[in-house]
Chain A
Amino acid sequence: MQKNKKGAEKIISVYWFAILFIVAGAMVYMVSSFYGKPYDVREIEAGLLTDKIAGCVSEAGYIQSVVLSQGFDNSFFDFCNLNFETEDAYGWKEQGQYYTEISIYNFNSEQVLSVIKEGNENLKEFCELGGGNLPVCLKRSLYTIAKDNSQYKIDILSVIRKTEKNA
Chain B
Amino acid sequence: MIEIPELAFGGLAAGTVSALALGSGLWRSRRERARLRREMTGLRHQAEQSARAGAEEAERIRQAFTAELEHLATRRMPAEASRTAHPHVPVPGPVGPEGAATEPVLAALRTAVLQERKRVDAAARAGMRGTTREIQASLYRLQDILHGLQQRYDEPELAQDLYSLDHENEQSLRRAQVAAVVCGAWVGLAREESHLVDAVTGGQARLSGYRRVKLHNHLDPGTALVSHAVEPVAIIAAELLDNALRHSSPDTSVVVNLEHVHNGVAVTVDDAGVGMAPDERAAAQRVVAGTDPIMFSDLGDPPRMGLAAIGQLTRQFDLSVDLSTPSPYGGVRAVLLVDKHLLSHIDPALRPAAASTSPSTRTGEVPRPEPLAGHAEPAEHAARAERVEHAEHAHAPGDGRPVSVDDQPTSGPDQPAPAVDDLPRRRRRQVSPDQAAMIRPSAAETAAAPARSPEETAAALGALQSATAAARDAARSEGTAPR
Task: Say whether A and B bind each other.
Answer: no
